[in-house]
Structures are given as structure tokens and as C-alpha cells.
Chains A and B, each alone.
Chain A
Amino acid sequence: MVGLLIRAGLLASLGVVAGLLFNTIRPDGVSLGSAPPAAACQLTAVSARTVERLTPSQANHLCGNPNVLIADARSAESFAKGHVAGAVHLPCAAPQGVAQGVPDLLSSHSTVVVYGETTGEALAVAEGLVRRNGSSNTALRVAVLEGGFSAWELAGFACASGPCVECADGKNGELIWPGPSTTGGKP
């Protein structure tokens, strides 16, 4: 068994060394040492009351980070057709129950990235978030996706389809995010 592991390790090492060498000599090799830093790190010096603008590539670096919330400001129909993978639905005309649940949702995140069909649609929601939550959650960074969902799709980043499973009750599309008035929605 030990011999098997040693030989397997040698084979894998051979592949790793070959990969490093090949990546170094090829002109279109990927950059190993200078990967772009996560956009969250670049936002530290920015006031929480301003809305950042992120390119799809910058926003993509935040995906999968548990401290980052991606919010979709478009209609429920557009959201169901396709959205940024992992995004929650936060439309401009969110009902009162949602509005009450938003601060609780945001309190567990350090950054929220809002996107819409256009940058302007997302900005309206993002500025509303800053106004409503800026005083209670000063560390919160709010950003919008430059170019909207179409720019995200065009860049080839991950998308998902279907209704928002984390915030909809599945009956009439009413959003029931966790908050004072929730009725069993999951965070």
C-alpha cells in the first residue's frame, strides 16, 4: 500500500512539474503568481455609504464567498428564467415583509452585490439598501454589477434558473426572507 501511494505521488508530481514547466514556457499560460485579488479586498478603503461598481469579472471573484450576498433586482419572471448562480431575489418593488427581513439577511454578510437588467436598475436598489441599512450596518459594502445580467451572461459566468428557493414560498412567488414577519423561509 505504501509503495502504491509513493508511486502515485511520483506520477502526480511528474504531472505537476510538467504542468508548471509547460505553463511557464507557453505564451498563453495562466498567471499563477499574480492572480487578481478578490474585489472584497479592494473595497476596504471605500466608505460604506457609497455604491461600488464591479465588472462581471470582479463580481465573479466574490461568488462562493459566504460573506458576500448576490442580489437580483429584476422581476420574478426574469429571475426564474436565469440568474447569477447563488443569487437571491431582491426586486425594486419588494413587499413590506421582505423589506423587514433584509437587515437580518444583510447582517450576516459583509458585502452585497446587486444586479439588474441594467446598471441603473441595480443602482436604485443598491442606493435604497445603503439608505436603509447604512446607519445600522456601517461595515456593509454595497456594489452593483456593471452592465447588468446581460454583461454577466456575455462574460460566460455561472448562471442558474428557477425561482428563488431561499426567499420564495413557492406558492405565489411571495418573498418570505427571514425576518420579523417570516413564516418559515430559510436563510
Chain B
Amino acid sequence: MNAKQVVSWIVRLGLGGLFMLAGVLKLKDPSKFALEISNYQLVTFGTSFMAALLPPVEIVAGAALVVLPRVWRQAAAFVILLMVVMFSVAVSTAYFRGINIDCGCFGGAASPITGLTLVRNAALLCASLLCLKLDATPPRLFTASPSPFKK
């Protein structure tokens, strides 16, 4: 196992594990999660749908990033990237509008939106981009060697 594969494993485990954990925590109380979504004041309808559907998508994408083969891991990293972008936009607008609400990032755990939340989201964005890049090229099993028939 080379250094690139070690980095890939660490990032995948960290990012996938974090999304699975976040999804499970949000699933525990979907009504509270729906309230947290509506508190962002970005959408006036569909919060119940988002509260019911987002956590399972997080869990599926997180699990796929950890256990599935490379092509599916890349797709999972892409799904996670889209979710991180969406979360970052929501958190940033709340932060810059000065709305004092819970982030809702990990279900019921009270976590107000601060500058650190934005930094964490930026780190998650980098991690998902890294996963996408690391899984973009197949691992090279055989090294090219000069043909024995060539002089």
C-alpha cells in the first residue's frame, strides 16, 4: 500500500464516517431537523421532505465512500461534494445575515453557526474534492516496461 492509498483510506474513512454519523444523528429526530432547516429561512416549503430524505442520502453516500469499489466511491464523493456545497451556502447565508440559529449539522446537538463552522465546511469541501480526485484514476497495477522485442 503506497502513500496515496493510505491518504485515500484516511480521507474516505474520515469523510464517509462523518457523513454516516451526521445522517444517523439527524434521523433520530426528523421533526427537529425540519425545524432547523426552516430556521435558515431559505425555503418556505419542502422542509419535511428535506428532513426525511437528506439523512438517508448522507448515510448511503458515506457508506458507499468507505466500502464500495472505486467507481462507486467516486460517485459517492460527488454526491457528498454537492451536499457540502449546499450546506456551505446555507450556513454562510445564515452567518452573514446574523441569524442566531443552531447549525443542525449533527441533529439535535446544539451547535451555533460561527466562523469555525464555515472553516469546517471548507475543510469538508477540500476533503470531498480530494476523494473525487484520488478515485478519478484507477490504481496502476503493472508498471510499463520496455518491450523485450524492441532493440
Binding site for B on A (CB under 8 A): 3-5, 7-8, 10-12, 14-16, 18-20, 22-23, 28-32, 35, 38, 60-61, 63-65, 82, 85-86, 156-162
Chain B residues with CB under 8 Å of chain A are 27, 29-31, 34-35, 38-45, 48-49, 51-61, 64, 71-72, 74-76, 78-79, 82, 97-101
Distance (Å) between the CB of B69 and the closest chain A CB?
11
A143→B74 CA distance, assembly (Å): 51
Q: Are the C-beta atoms of A11 and B75 separated by less than 8 Å?
A: yes
Chain B min CB distance to A55 (Å): 14
Least CB distance, A12 to chain B, in whole angstroms? 5
A94–B46 CA distance with the chains assembled, in angstroms: 38
Partner of A159, one of B35, B60, B79, B101: B101
Known: A22-B56, A85-B41. 16 other contacts (CB 8 A): A8-B76, A10-B75, A11-B61, A11-B76, A15-B53, A19-B55, A19-B56, A22-B27, A23-B53, A28-B29, A63-B44, A85-B39, A157-B35, A158-B39, A158-B99, A160-B98
Q: Is the CB of A15 within 8 A of B34?
A: no
B75 touches A7 (CB 8 A): yes
Q: Choose among B31, B58, B75 the residue with the greatest number of A CB atoms under 10 Å from its CB.
A: B75
B97 to chain A minimum Cβ distance, whole angstroms, is 7
**B100 & A64 in contact (Cβ 8 Å cutoff):** no
Which residues does chain B contribute within 8 Å of A82, judged by CB atoms?
100
Complex formed: what's the CA distance from A3 to B64 in Å?
16
Known contacts A3-B71, A60-B38; A15 and B61 CB within 8 A of each other:
yes
Rounded to whole Å, the gap between the CB of A131 and the closest CB of chain B is 30
Instruction: Output the nearest chain B residue to A6 by Cβ-Cβ distance.
Output: B75
Most buried by A among B34, B39, B41, B52: B52
Contact yes or no, B97 A32, CB < 8 A: no
A63/B75 in contact, CB under 8 A = no
